[in-house]
Amino acid sequence: MNKHDPIIGRYVYINCQGKSYRTYYEENGDGIPMVCLHTAGTDGRQYRHQLCDNDIASNFRVIAFDLPRHGKSIPPEGWHLEEDEYKLTTSFYAEFILEFCRALELNKPIIMGQSMGGNICLELALRYENEFSALIAMEACDHSPGWHIDPLHHPHIHGGEAVATSVFGLMSPNSPDEYRWETWWYYAQGGPGIFKGDLYYYSVDSDYRDKVHKISGKLPIYFLTGEYDFACTPEMTQRTAEKVKNSECIIFGGGHFPTSEDPDVFKEVVTPVLKKIIQNDPERRGGNTRDWSSAENTSSSYGKYDSQPSGRRVVKL
């Protein structure tokens, strides 16, 4: 008998900054809505493992969308007439996430993003703290300069292979080859100039060094960073988390793309965070009988997890 993933894919039209965007998203699960943000130049396929995870889907409505110009979300009408190269800006990115959540009528969803999707969590905390219930910022920091460079979109360079290979070293050497090369494939399929344009936000338009201390702390923020990440090093994440009120910082033995390069390790790392979110919001968890919010092997202090799983350590702020 053929096997089918439980993921359902749909399109929704999002109006943002005067334009309409036909936006593709996938979802699975029941419970607290959790919107997942992909990294620069890729798409929601990075979350296919979490979308198919029974433990997660039994407690959360997991949703992953493709940002416009990424994956199955085509550019807006008239994009071929644009004279300036594509650049993702802070204002558009934050507003689009908010409008997407409103279009799906999500009530105070969780936002979970990695890389640029992690950095934008800082902007969401600053501008829209009342719209969300928690933020999971993976591979995130207050500033990651130096990545918006011309060779990433050059007529003499094969864009797909250059982009994919440029990020290969950001993954942990311990991640399974199967998933590292799958992540490489996602990057090789990006549209012309999209990776570079996303990195305009990541390296140029997202300098939060003088802003993060203004985050009120009303909205809990969980920082997760892999020790093999050199675009956003553990030290960069720790430096950021120290300035963010009501935040927790977890460093683990992974790379820059935890959800796709090593989903099993990522599940071990994120499970205590998700359980804590459930414990803080028990009424909205899924109706499935699977009890994933059990206090077994958990504690109010994340410090108790320092030796479980192996390679995971919590920075107490």
What is 141-183 written as a DSSP string?
A: -S---S---GGGS-TTS-HHHHHHHHHHTTS-TTS-HHHHHHH
Confidence of residue 303 (pLDDT cuts 50, 70, 90): very low
Element of type H or E holding 28: strand 19-29
Highest mean pLDDT among 14-23, 73-82, 140-149, 181-190: 14-23
How far does Cα 299 stand from its chain's mean position?
26
pLDDT at position 162: 74
pLDDT at position 291: 60
pLDDT, greater one: 13 or 310? 13
Confidence of residue 151 (pLDDT cuts 50, 70, 90): low
> Domain limits of the chain?
8-315
Confidence of residue 187 (pLDDT cuts 50, 70, 90): confident
pLDDT, greater one: 139 or 311? 139
Cβ atoms 136, 112 nearer than 8 A: yes
Cβ atoms 299, 308 nearer than 8 A: no
pLDDT, greater one: 287 or 95? 95
pLDDT at position 304: 31
Q: Which of 28-37, 81-90, 260-269 has the lowest mean pLDDT?
A: 81-90
Residue position matching structure tokens 């250059």 = 162
How far does Cα 41 stand from its chain's mean position?
13
Cis peptide preceding 151, ω within 30 of 0: no
Q: In what order do the strands lie in the sheet with 221-226?
A: 8-16, 19-29, 60-65, 32-37, 110-114, 134-138, 221-226, 247-252, 313-315
Confidence of residue 301 (pLDDT cuts 50, 70, 90): very low
Cβ atoms 266, 212 nearer than 8 A: no
Share of the chain above pLDDT 70, in %: 86
pLDDT at position 163: 73
pLDDT at position 79: 87
CATH code reported for the domain at 8-315: 3.40.50.1820
Residue 312 has pLDDT above 80, yes or no: no
pLDDT at position 9: 98
Query: What letter does residue 217 receive in the DSSP assignment?
Result: S
Query: What is the C-alpha end-to-end distance of the chain, expressed in Å?
Result: 51
Cα distance between residue 216 and residue 64, in whole Å: 27
Q: What's the mean pLDDT in 122-147?
A: 92
Helix (H, G, I), strand (E, B) or coil at 277: helix
